[in-house]
């Protein structure tokens, strides 16, 4: 299974336990944490378990959290992932270090995911043909809402967004 994807400025690859400290730092940034649905305060052990759950989900074929690394470095700047992959549907999740907001990194990652959804899901050995991609975004998170609008997601309920392939 080769699920590493080199894009123009970032590499997407499955999150690993060695990324725990870097992911904890990102998820603990107050401007990032305010929009996540993780219980706060988030401990390093919480993040270690989160990564383990993602790894387990990857082996079960229903989850894939890809770390976003600056190209040619090991610097983790955020994550983008698919969750609850089943019967034509999946959930999208993403977070990005505040240091990289507004630089187009999440747009680059999301464009790749939407264009290559079948190849990404196939990396998990999952044969699902994803036709609906859902996202939950806090009503106050206007930047993420703008990102989803730019990529033609439809706002269907207070925090619920939908993309149809």
Range of the domain at 107: 5-164
What percent of the chain has pLDDT above 90? 88
Q: Residue 1 pLDDT > 60, yes or no? A: no
Q: Model confidence over 62-120: pLDDT tens digits?
A: 999 999 999 988 899 999 999 999 989 999 999 999 999 999 999 999 999 999 999 99
Residue-level pLDDT at 65: 97
Taking all residues of the chain, what is their mean pLDDT, rounded to a whole number?
95
Distance CA 60, CA 122 (A): 12
Residue-level pLDDT at 39: 79
Strand partners, 66: 14, 80
CATH number at residue 39: 3.40.630.30
Strand partners, 133: 90, 163
Residue-level pLDDT at 138: 94
What percent of the chain has pLDDT above 70? 99
Residue-level pLDDT at 2: 63
Residue-level pLDDT at 72: 82
Distance CA 42, CA 22 (A): 13
Residue-level pLDDT at 64: 96
Task: Give the C-alpha distances (Å, rounded to integers) separating 49 from 45, 62, 105, 118, 156.
Answer: 6, 17, 26, 28, 32
Residue range 23-52: mean pLDDT, rounded: 94
Cα dihedral 147→103→55→138 (10° resolution): -40
Residue-level pLDDT at 114: 98
68 vs 128 pLDDT, higher one: 68
Grouping H, G, I as helix, E, B as strand and the rest as coil, residue 141 is coil
Q: Residue 13 pLDDT > 90, yes or no? A: yes
Count: domains in the chain: 1
Reported pTM: 0.94
Distance CA 40, CA 27 (A): 10
């Amino acid at each position: 299974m080769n699920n590493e994807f080199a894009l123009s400025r970032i590499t997407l690859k499955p999150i690993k336990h060695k990324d725990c400290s870097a992911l904890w730092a990102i998820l603990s940034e107050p401007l990032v944490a305010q929009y996540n649905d993780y219980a706060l305060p988030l401990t390093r052990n919480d993040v270690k378990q989160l990564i383990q759950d993602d790894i387990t989900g990857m082996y079960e074929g229903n989850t894939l959290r890809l770390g976003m690394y600056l190209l040619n470095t090991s610097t983790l700047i955020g994550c983008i992932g698919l969750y609850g992959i089943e019967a034509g549907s999946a959930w999208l999740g993403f977070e990005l270090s505040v240091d990289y907001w507004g630089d187009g990194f999440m747009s680059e990652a999301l464009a790749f995911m939407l264009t290559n959804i079948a190849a990404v899901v196939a990396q998990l050995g999952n044969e699902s043909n994803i036709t609906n991609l859902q996202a939950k975004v806090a009503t106050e998170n206007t930047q993420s809402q703008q990102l989803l609008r730019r990529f033609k997601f439809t706002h269907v309920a207070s925090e619920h967004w939908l993309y149809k392939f």
